[in-house]
Chains A and B, each alone.
Chain A
Amino acid sequence: MRFSYFVLRRWLYSILVLFGLSILIFIIARMLPGDPARLALGPFALQEQVEHLRHVMGMDKPLPLQYWTYITGIFHGDFGLSFQTRRNVALDIAHYLPATVELVLVAIVWVLVLGVPLGVLAARYKDSWVDNLVRVMAFIGVAVPPFVVGLFLQLTFSYLLGILPTTGRLSLMTPAPPLRTGLLLLDSLIEGDFSALGDALKHIILPSFAIAMTGIGQIARLTRASMSDVANQDYIEASRGFGIPNRVIAFKYMLKPASIAPLTILGLTFASELSNAFLVETVFAWPGLAKYGIRAILRKDFNAVMGVVLIIGLAFVIVNLIVDILAGYVDPRVRIKHEEGE
């Protein structure tokens, strides 16, 4: 299959999935027992006020029409009003999203910087302490809920050792850098404000690590497995024969072919980090999208819930798209597999 054709197919498919997701979420939101207008106005509002709000929100129209209004609104950046903040949900999302993006990006850095080298070392020194460490981390990653990881990190590094802050993105004493991207690390770097940068770094270490834990274990184990597979290939034997040092063989000749398998599950890693963010942001009082979303769910703020879910769906679909295209680019076999899977 030609590469461009593969990419095009993959794009169309992603759009279809997002469209399906929007319908599903819309149905869930409208299935709610009780009247959103009544919920928004409270029990003491007059019936006429409720009727008026229903009319304003377009809830007296048939469902397909409501869906059409909602979906065309989204293309204009209008996600509807949030009942709790009384603002357009799009504004709220723009306000809360950067904190979560920053958290997840740093978590991905953890996964790449710790997970891949740990996997390489574990494959190189089988049954050594590194190998055992990777095993233990993989098990903790799957068996310990991320909020528990977060709480234990907090207990150890904040309460017992007192070297890292417990909650939030910045200390109260640190003035925030002027808002540019919303990513504090980047903003303070642009501003050249290194005390703010250091403070923001200190705050992000624990929550991002708690989020990354699952991914580090997964990627390390997978890297180890595919490194061991590659190690049995003839050309590796040959380069050993040439007397090339083991370290060079491992990082220069084995890592690239061995990175295909970990690359394909990077999408899954991203998914686990997003869901972990929902739990870990609560532990560390991180003012991100996940925290906003959970408050919206608990208070039945439906436009907000739909907005958050669609944004996360969009992010997830885009990441999977990128990962698939990358994998298809590196490894042509993936393209064929994709066609067969259709």
Chain B
Amino acid sequence: MSTRASHHQVTTGLNETRWMIIKDRLGRGWYKFRRNPISLVGGVMVLLCVLLAIFAPYVTPYPKHAGAFTDFQNAFQAPSKSHWLGTDALGCDVFTRIIFGSRISLMLTAVVLGISVPVGVFLGLISGYMGGKTETVIMRVTDVFLSLPALVMALAICAAFTPSIDKAMLAVASIWWTWHCRLVNGITRSIKTEEFVQASKVLGASPLRIIFKDILPNCASPVIVKITLDAGFVILVGAGLSFLGLGAQPPAEDLGTMISFGAKYLPERWWMTVFPSLAIFFIILGFNLLGDGLRDVLAVEEGV
């Protein structure tokens, strides 16, 4: 009994120290994050976008104007008190559509990264740990996907489908895993020779345990930084696809689609193009600043 009790004490003690270490790290990270004005600004920008997107129906003056809506009598109105950012060719409030449009952009990023990151990380872990033929096959397939610029590859994949936002997401996701696969593959290769991994092996840990318990946690920081920086880049590619007519189809309130339609009315009706452009810039800049800041906080090398 007594040994069991002391064992219990020891483990709780261990847990406590571990918890203190985590708390200490979090505290330091938060301190660094706070002291770094760039990451703080980026974080606030991203948070603002997310909140506006979530509460879009409540914060916008004309929630009905998102999606299919026409009011030709009020078309092409310049920015005014009733329509802060003017109205478009169908009489929809541009401000409302921008806020709803940021919903589509954020959803695109979330879906694309939600699918591609786990796949890429998993394949990177497997290929890096197994080595040999498995690695050769996985990494060569990765190379083929990276043999075209991301946007061009996405365009080629889109060609096989009728254009829609779902297909655009699918196309971008089906190339995005490659970046994470490469990143994690590199980390895994260098970590698997470390002593603590060798020790695990000697103790008889299964490969799956080693991969997920010993190696995966060491990939967390670079992958988190990469996800944040990717978020902006995915929005950029998505906006490009819809600008070319291969993403969200009208009357969906997508920012890229809005810009491509508004461009026909330049320069007289500039508000239809300028404001959605600024919105895209705002979102992407937010993610990039946040990513740069996180890189400093988590002490991840440049180049990720």
Q: Assess the A305–B159 pair: CB atoms within 8 A.
A: yes
Closest chain B residue to A30 by CB distance? B160
Interface segment among A118-126, A177-185, A205-213, A276-284: the answer is A276-284
Q: Assess the A279–B155 pair: CB atoms within 8 A.
A: no
Interface presence of B300 (CB below 8 A): no
> When A142-B232, A147-B243, A305-B156 are in contact, do A275 and B280 touch as well, CB less than 8 Å?
no
| A interface bracket (residues with beta carbon within 8 Å of B) | 35 or more
Q: Assess the A279–B240 pair: CB atoms within 8 A.
A: yes
Q: Assess the B144–A17 pair: CB atoms within 8 A.
A: yes
Interface string of B73-86 (1 = CB under 8 A from A): 00000000000000
Interface presence of B263 (CB below 8 A): yes
With a 10 A CB-CB cut-off, give which of A21, A32, A148, A294 has the most chain B CB atoms. A148
Q: Assess the A143–B156 pair: CB atoms within 8 A.
A: no
* Closest CB in chain B relative to A210 CB, distance in Å: 13
Q: Assess the A139–B240 pair: CB atoms within 8 A.
A: no
Q: CA separation between A297 and B161, bound complex, in Å? A: 9
With a 10 A CB-CB cut-off, give which of A16, A139, A279, A282 has the most chain B CB atoms. A279
Interface presence of B288 (CB below 8 A): yes
Interface presence of B270 (CB below 8 A): yes
Contact of B288 among A139, A155, A278, A305 (CB under 8 A): A139
Interface segment among A63-71, A79-87, A248-256, A310-318: the answer is A310-318
Interface presence of A53 (CB below 8 A): no
Q: Assess the B267–A160 pair: CB atoms within 8 A.
A: yes
Interface string of A255-273 (1 = CB under 8 A from B): 0000000000000000110
Interface segment among B22-30, B54-62, B146-154, B219-227: the answer is B146-154
Q: Assess the A155–B143 pair: CB atoms within 8 A.
A: no
* Cβ contacts under 8 Å, B260 to chain A: 147
* Cβ contacts under 8 Å, B274 to chain A: 155
With a 10 A CB-CB cut-off, give which of A297, A298, A312 has the most chain B CB atoms. A297
Q: Assess the B266–A278 pair: CB atoms within 8 A.
A: no
Contact of B157 among A28, A148, A154, A298 (CB under 8 A): A28
Q: CA separation between A17 and B277, bound complex, in Å? A: 37
Interface string of A14-26 (1 = CB under 8 A from B): 0011101100110
Q: Assess the B158–A21 pair: CB atoms within 8 A.
A: no
Contact of B277 among A148, A154, A297 (CB under 8 A): A148
Tell me the chain B residues, 45-65 only, with Cβ under 8 Å from chain A: none
Interface presence of A159 (CB below 8 A): yes
> When A25-B156, A279-B243, A297-B246 are in contact, do A143 and B232 touch as well, CB less than 8 Å?
yes
Closest chain A residue to B233 by CB distance? A142
